[in-house]
Copies of this chain bind each other. A is one copy, B any other.
Amino acid sequence: MAAAAAGRAIIPQSTRRLRPRDGARSERKTVDYDFQQIDAIINARSLAVVGASNSPTKFGYMFTRSQVTMGFDGPLYLVNSNEDEIMGRPAYPDLLSLPSAPDLVYLTIPAHRSVEVLADCAKIGVKAVIMMASGFKEAGESGKRLEEEALAIAREGGFRMIGPNCFGIYNPRNRLTLLPGHDFSKSAGSVAFISQSGGYSAHVARQGKSLGIDFSAVISYGNAADLDESDFLEYFTDDPDTRMISAYIEGVRDGARFARVLQRAAAAKPVVLWKVGAGESSRRAVLSHTGSLAGSAELWDSLIKKSGAIEASGVDELLDIMLVLKHFGRSPGKRLLICGGGGGLGTYGADLAEKEGLLVPDLDVRALERLQEVLDHAGAVAGNPLDVGAPLIPMPFLEDTLFEAGANPTTDILLFDLAVNFGYDVAGDFGIERTVELLGETRRRSGTHVAAVLYSRSFDPDDMRFETMLRRMRKRLHAAGVPVFESMERAVRAISRVN
């Protein structure tokens, strides 16, 4: 990770430029991975959106609005032959009318129309095209032929393709935002997310923002007619801005290549993989979604294990794992000290931890003695789990307790449940605000990892007070280096996965 962070100057030596074979038809494997080529697409300096629209129910509106709101860092041309003006900007009738050729063309028009426009893309000489439309390989024989045709035009024209049947790229570094929605983070970060699903690309980008996870880039790549999961995985392995790679994958094009690429990626940085399509009906879904073959679940399990990548079983777990990795890194240790104001939550936490292969070890003898002195009141249990007795114990006690607990040498991670309790109403020295502060202080003083659990509570639309406070606390904890989970189960599962 240190090397990866050392600067953009590290460019892999083995990369080769695109060399289309004469007359090549849909033989994508003749094109090698080329770092600089993909880098030029993701960090495109000019963009045209074909199909940009003023009609709020069209994707052409949503994507354009995202892009306009986020403020792309370079010329942005909107193309639609039926409009003069879109969102206050001039509309061009076609690509041939643009003042200059854009690096990247985004097509948010139907499948057949998309393939027709590819000729113009070749004519003006663009670096790459993203085709959003569905109706290609995933839709059967005629769609498959259309996809092959598109690929042949791209090869002939010397440009690369992302998609079809995808959303596109979100890159806060140049503000490229080809996802629907206009509330994505403008802060560039170090997490890459590669997604075969468009919906989850937008969802993860949005949830990541809420959790303080900033992205180097998010790429929704759909059917992967040209650039595919292996290309992007290689790219982010070599991208010095990216320190963690995550992916949602339905199927891969070239299993042997993917295995090699995954191995190299996971050796360089943490890789989190969410692979779907384990069962019969989900394989069918994969085929009709992106035209991919899901592959055997057993093969995938062994592939992921062997590579050292982390497997996520769903979208929430994927996000939780990212959060742990961000704050604790890889393999932070399996020994939990489970704390909170109550006995049930500790019992449950210990149950979960053991089920997930984590440890809830006895406290060190001297730490135990000191905690017994501090927690000398009824209802408190000095031990692991550690029950502070009530959520409303006076802060000097809680302070001593947390500092002693943080210093306990048999603890890798102190996991504090702020959740299943009721001290939220009380301000000042007994309140949650000071408790939250103390968790950050404990982490700083002891160097021990600290994590927190904060349940959402009361789903009443008329009572947003608690939710607002909870979100404020979550933000403060994240700023203090304390990851916050929505339940004890989610905390324990995520911590287990990264170990």
Residues of A within 8 A of B (CB): 56-57, 59, 62, 110-111, 133-135, 138-139, 165, 180-181, 183, 195-200, 202-203, 206-207, 209-211, 248, 250, 276-282, 284-286, 288-290, 314-316, 341-348, 350-355, 359-361, 378-379, 381, 383-385, 387, 389-390, 392, 394, 419-422, 426, 430, 455-461, 463-464, 467-468, 471-472, 474-475, 487-489
Contact = CB atoms under 8 A, between A and B. Distances in A.
B57 A430 contact: yes
A111 to B, nearest CB: 6
With most chain B CB atoms within 10 A of its CB, the pick from A139, A181, A347, A360 is A347
Given A379-B134, A422-B62, A197 B285 contact: no
B280 A354 contact: yes
Contacts of A361: 281
Nearest to A65: B425
B384 A281 contact: yes
A315 to B, nearest CB: 7
A489 B316 contact: yes
B203 A355 contact: no
A314 B207 contact: no
A422 B180 contact: yes
A471 B461 contact: yes
A25 to B, nearest CB: 24
A57 B426 contact: yes
Contact of A460 (B134, B210, B278, B394): B210
Q: How many copies does the complex hold?
A: 2
A8 B127 CA distance: 77
B467 A464 contact: yes
Given A278-B354, A281-B384, A315 B206 contact: no
With most chain B CB atoms within 10 A of its CB, the pick from A278, A281, A394 is A281
Nearest to A317: B489
A412 B496 CA distance: 35
A199 B383 contact: no
A376 B199 CA distance: 21
Given A180-B422, A196-B344, A350-B279, A378 B458 contact: no
Contacts of A183: 458, 463
A106 B80 CA distance: 74
20 contacts: A56-B426, A111-B378, A133-B379, A135-B379, A181-B422, A195-B344, A199-B421, A206-B457, A207-B459, A210-B457, A278-B354, A282-B354, A282-B360, A285-B385, A289-B343, A314-B488, A456-B456, A461-B472, A461-B475, A464-B467
